[in-house]
Structure 1
Amino acid sequence: MSASKLLPLEDAIEQLSSRVQTCSLEETTPIEQALNRVSASDVNARISQPPFHNSAVDGYAFRISDIQKSALPVTMRVPAGSAPGQLKEGEAARIFTGAPVPEGADCVLMQESAELSELNGTTLLSTSSNLSLNQNIRPAGQDFQVGDTLLRKGDVLRPQNISLLASSGIAEIKTYRPLTVAVVSTGDELAQPGSELKPGQIYNSNQYLLEGLIRSFGFEVRNIGCVADKLDATIEALNKAAESDIIISSGGASVGEEDYIKAAIEELGEIDFWRIAIKPGKPFMLGKVGDTPILGLPGNPSAVLVTFLMLARSVLLKRQGCRVTQIRTHQFPLGFNWKKAGIRREFIRVRLNEDNQIIAHPNQSSGMMSSSCWAEGFAVIPENTCPQAGDLVTFIPFSHLLQLPETTLDQ
């Protein structure tokens, strides 16, 4: 096949993004249940944090101008959680980390730098340390101020995001309901693990691969089961699957005489077959069953893995409402010579050696899953290139691909 008849990966991702919409179902979620959920709205700070000037250390609070004149009597004790009020001129306060700085104090001296003495039962404070205005004082609003954006629509909530919301007094937020993804397997040749194989059968490993991939994002799986190679059975299964937010099938991306999924989708909605310029995983299908999107992946296990992570992943994230869907990548040197340039972008199963060089599994067959178990991620060999040992290529760790994308406040 010529390169002109292949759809570039970036074009495929762009078309997928334009044709799949975010699910609009929202729910109110307590923050203790919001880990890895996707925010359905911007969230702004209700208070400033910290809400008052507070001490960064255990020590003593005073006016610099007072201690420069003489030793100061320690007349006040300020623990965290107290409301100390005004510090009188010529006096000092014992203060603890996180406690409000008394009004009038402009410096907190770390207790290790304090020089203490006693006079008639009163503790006197002096110091020979250099002092500066607002030393060891955390100003009000240092972390964030009223009205600051703490979370944006489409952000994935990490533990630190939840902590930030809690520090603003926010107990619940609007999130998108986790996707329900239907998994459809097709083919009379498939048998379920635990059963005895009949002649010509193989075990249905793709179902478990897809279910694991889907669950790694926190989505719910709806297993439709293995559908017999009959048109009426396929139509019935797709109608059931269409009650979910999105459908994923394996083995239905190619057009063959025994593939009934194409005819079933055409009867129930619309279908479009693509040939993507990637290897493994050239065939890919996008369609609709009623209003529910359906993605058809190839049948070979490694091709399922590549097309799910490079194509279906972005669709699922868009459908879930994630603001960021791009894949984080790294650059590492190849530890071997690539033998031949190809017209498709290749995703080879690799790991890093002790010298941080990329080494490849010796067998890159699309029918193998053991090579993906050996690997730490994909190395990307661009179309029409033949990189050699020492050349930098893109490395995508599985750890980046098998989770919801991290979003930060500055993105």
Structure 2
Amino acid sequence: MTAPTFPMHVSVDDARTHLTALLPARTAETVPLAQAYGRTLAADVPALVSHPSATESALDGIAAREADTLGASADAPARLRVIGESRAGAAFGGTVGAGECVRIYTGAPLPAGADAICPVEQLTDDGPDGVLLRRPASPADVRVEGGDFRAGEVVLHAGQHLTAPRLALAAALGHAQLSVQRRLRVALLSTGDEVVPPGQPLTAGQVYDSNSVGLHAMLLEAGCEVLPLGHAPDSPKALQAAIDAAGGADVLLTSGGVSMGKYDFMRDLLVEQGRVSFWKVRMRPGGPAILGGWNGLPVFGLPGNPVSSLVVFHVIVRPALTGQPPQTLRLRAATPFRALPDKTAFWRGVVDGGQVRDYGQQGSGILRSLSDAGALVIVPEGQAVQAGDDVDVILL
């Protein structure tokens, strides 16, 4: 390999910045709610209606004037006269006066004159038109019109990831479709002579292709459209043919072939025939990652070790693809976490009761650790974490 003319050993933040700069500008498209899950909002979403649309009951029971029920108890119940009912879709049209009440059901509009609710569990019928209250009616059980949101209020914001609760909220706001960012089209390629598709027999030294399976799922979770390119052996000609097949993609994501070895041909192709933005990141696991380009196509090369590949995706690639930084929590360290003098460490940890402890096995080939541990503990360069210290954690 020729002497490098590109940055090496960049920081994690710089790696994200470099990748983000190579991605195309996001355009917007409008899709139905049923197609919006996992997408990113391209525009603010205002409420088209107020919610609740009317002042209503939060409970089944009776609607009454609070003043008529003060002092009601099991030993001395208050009696009110029932003059009608209010239910969702059929509101009571009259006015509740002194000593009167209306039977009401959850979500039904509160009748004029009433200002409080007594739940059905605290009521006893008393004759054909009477009811006894064993406790006072409470204004706290009244939902005020617009108490959740009011028409015209911006409730969801551009840049937010559309989760199931946010989609439900968008529907409640009155929207049947949303403006979202166009999905990035990510071509995915795994490499290596030793890599075999799951389900086939293995010979000595071979491994199943776990990287492409995990990365494919993570790309879908990040809201991307995935173009699977399958697998390419350790051959410059085969790798070049595979890369050339990524036409139409916004970015190519590869795994393997980017480290220091003689057969790391993905690295050599980018260095000698393509373009390199950086090689190697000051992080562990995942240091050998490379970012470059091939005939105008951005190429991000992940390490081949399974843990390294998936951790680099979590820490660098996903934030660039989604435009969202990694979501971190500040937790108390239950065990020490060692520091590296010149790299940020992302050690696997187990979260338990507001604390995080060292998973133990931190080798980049221990794939089960990402499933069992559930968190990455961020240890900055040269700053060891002692038991009892607070530490930033990325949940997996």
State the shift of 1:343 in Å: 1.6
The match for 1:12 is: 15
1:320-339 equivalences under 5 Å are 324-336=324-336, 338=338
Deviation at 1:228, TM superposition (A): 4.0
Q: Could you tell me whether the CA contact under 8 Å between 2:82 and 2:129 is conserved in 1?
A: yes
Q: Which position in structure 1 is the counterpart of 2:307?
A: 302
| Alpha-carbon offset, residue 350 of structure 1 | 3.3
Amino acid at match of 1:86: G
Q: Using the alignment, how far apart are the partners of 1:192 and 1:375 within structure 2?
A: 26
* 2:256 maps to 1:247: no
In 1, the alpha carbon distance for the partners of 2:373 and 2:140 equals: 52
Cα distance in 2 for residues equivalent to 1:304 and 1:14: 19
1:321 maps to which residue? none
Of residues 103, 107, 113, the one that matches 1:98 is 107
Contact 2:222 2:318 in 1 (8 A): no
Residue equivalent to 2:171: 166
CA–CA distance in 2 between the matches of 1:101 and 1:85? 10
- 1:382 is aligned to 380
Q: CA deviation at 1:46?
A: 0.7
Aligned with residue 95 of structure 2, among 87, 101, 120: 87
Offset at 1:361? 2.2
Matched, 1:277 2:289: no
1:53 is aligned to 2:59: no
Q: State the secondary structure of the residue aligned to 1:38.
A: coil
- Confirm whether residue 107 of structure 1 aligns to residue 130 of structure 2: no
Using the alignment, how far apart are the partners of 2:82 and 2:205 within structure 1? 89
2:84 is equivalent to residue 76 of structure 1: yes
Whole-Å separation in 1 of the counterparts to 2:340 and 2:63: 70
Q: Cα distance 1:73–1:396, how it changes in 2: closer, same or farther (>3 A)?
A: closer
**Range moving further from structure 2, 282-291 or 123-132:** 123-132
Superposed displacement of residue 156, structure 1: 1.9
Comparing 305-314 with 77-86, which one deviates more in the overlay? 77-86
Quick one: structure 1 residues 153 and 267, their matched pair in 2 at CA, closer, same or farther if it must change by over 3 Å? farther
Q: Point out the more displaced range, 7-16 or 42-51.
A: 7-16
Please say if residues 106 and 135 of structure 1, whose CA atoms lie closer than 8 Å, have aligned partners that are also in contact: no
TM-score after normalising by structure 1:
0.78
In the TM superposition, 1:207-226 aligns within 5 A as 207-217=212-222, 219-226=224-231
* Residues 37 and 163, structure 2, Cα contact 8 Å, conserved in 1: yes
The residue number in structure 1 matching 2:38 is 36
Which stretch has the larger CA shift, 258-267 or 204-213? Answer: 258-267
| Unaligned ranges ≥5, structure 1 | 319-323, 399-411
Question: Secondary structure, in 3 states, of the residue corresponding to 2:216?
Answer: helix
The answer to whether the 8 Å contact 2:223/2:322 transfers is no
2:258 and 2:264 in contact (8 A); partners too: no
**Superposed displacement of residue 243, structure 1:** 1.9
CA distance in 1, matches of 2:121, 2:203: 79
Q: What are the superposed Cα offsets for residues 346-381 of structure 1, whole Å, 9 maximum, x if unpaired?
A: 22233357995513324x333443444443332333
How far does residue 310 in structure 1 lie from its aligned partner after superposition? 1.2
Any conservation in 2 of the 1:55–1:101 contact (CA below 8 Å)?
yes
Among all aligned residue pairs of Structure 1 and Structure 2, give the percentage whose two residues are the same amino acid. 31
In the superposition, relative to structure 1, how do residues 262 and 199 fare at CA in structure 2: closer, same or farther (>3 Å)?
same
Closer/same/farther in 2, CA of residues 207 and 163 from structure 1, 3 Å limit: closer
CA-CA distance at 1:200 after TM superposition: 6.6
Match of 1:408 in 2: none
Cα deviation, 1:373-400, whole Å, max 9, x if unaligned, reads 44333233321133344444333332xx
Aligned residues: 382
* 1-structure distance, mates of 2:193, 2:122: 80
Aligned-pair distance for 1:211?
A: 2.6
Whole-Å Cα distance in 2 between the matches of residues 200 and 315 of structure 1?
34
* CA distance, structure 2, for counterparts of residue 383 and residue 57 of structure 1: 56
Shift in Å, 1:152: 1.6
Q: CA offsets, 1:167-212, max 9 Å, x none? A: 2332222333544321123344544444555777555443334234
**Inter-CA distance 78–245: structure 2 relative to 1 (3 Å threshold):** same
1:51 CA displacement: 0.9
* Residues 1:54 and 1:253: Cα distance change in structure 2 (over 3 Å): same
Aligned to 2:363: 365
Indicate if the aligned counterparts of 1:67 and 1:126 stay in contact, CA closer than 8 A.
Answer: no
Gaps of 5+ in 2: 1-6, 71-77
Cα distance change, pair 351–116 in 1 and its aligned pair in 2 (3 A): closer
User: Where do residues 146-157 of structure 1 align in structure 2 (5 Å cutoff)?
Assistant: 146-157=151-162
- The Cα of 1:49 is off from its aligned counterpart by 0.7
Decide whether the 8 Å contact of 2:222 with 2:321 is kept in 1: no
SS of equivalent to 2:43: coil
Q: How much does 1:251 deviate?
A: 2.1
Once residues 354 and 152 of structure 2 are traced to their aligned partners in structure 1, the CA distance between those partners, rounded to angstroms, is 48
Aligned to 1:402: none
Distance 1:352 1:263 in 2: 40
CA distance in 2, matches of 1:394, 1:329: 6
For 2:322, which of 305, 317, 323 is the aligned residue?
A: 317
C-alpha displacement at 1:342, in angstroms?
2.3
Correspondence for 1:123 = 129
CA shift, 1:111, in A, is 4.3
3-state secondary structure, aligned to 2:212? helix
Aligned pair partner of 2:189 in 180, 184, 188: 184
